[in-house]
Amino acid sequence: MRTFIAIDINPEIREVGQEIIDKLASIGFKATWTKPENLHLTLFFLGEMDEKAVDSMAHALQKRLQGFPSFSTSLSGFGYFKFKHSPRVLFLKLEPTKSLQRLFLEMKSELNKNKIKYDEQGNFVPHVTLGRVKEYPNDWEKLVEDIQTPKITLVVDGVTIYSSTLTPQGPIYKWVYKLKFEGGLMKNVR
């Protein structure tokens, strides 16, 4: 199964994400937009893994993260990754707090220790992908510079391991494991 590890976001950030997607579409961006229910903060994209490997990874991560203190981060604006002069990915930025960075590094260390492969993206930039750009308006940078986001706090008390099934209508995400820092490991048995 195509697998990734993410932090779930709250309904308030999900709502802001949808409002900004609507705004971007109305000013001329054409993109593969993320469905509101699929918005999340990806920590690691792992690609294809078999079920046994996912199970053992979940248990190893649970052991490593047991007792990790819950923390909060907050929505800190709108952003984009670009290639040359073209926008590629549009996203919501999250505050790269010390706790969020520490969580990322702890997990990265555990994945490496267990020889689990993941996409290396260079520096960790905490973000929630809104869309992958296909077409964009002229003066796009000027058009997006006034996009504001409210400051919304996101409490992080665990991570979720997801499977992603690609379909013509877009990906379908299903949680496989929820790892709570204080509350153990839950497996989705559907």
Q: What is the pLDDT along the chain (190 residues), one digit of tens a residue?
A: 999 999 999 999 999 999 999 999 999 999 999 999 999 999 999 999 999 999 999 999 999 999 999 999 999 999 999 998 899 999 999 999 999 999 999 999 999 999 999 998 778 899 999 999 999 999 999 999 999 999 999 999 999 999 999 888 888 899 999 999 998 899 997 6
User: What CATH code is carried by the domain that includes residue 143?
Assistant: 3.90.1140.10
Helices (H), the chain: 11-26, 51-65, 98-113, 140-144
Dihedral angle computed from the Cα positions of residues 84, 85, 87 and 89, in that order, rounded to the nearest 10 degrees? 20
Dihedral angle computed from the Cα positions of residues 6, 120, 171 and 181, in that order, rounded to the nearest 10 degrees? -10
How remote is the C-alpha of 10 from its chain's centroid?
12
The total number of structural domains that make up the chain: 1
What residue numbers bound the domain in which 90 lies? 2-187
pLDDT value for 190: 64
Backbone angles phi, psi at 155, to 5 degrees: -85, 130
Enzyme catalytic residues: 40, 127
- DSSP conformation class of 36: G
pLDDT value for 123: 83
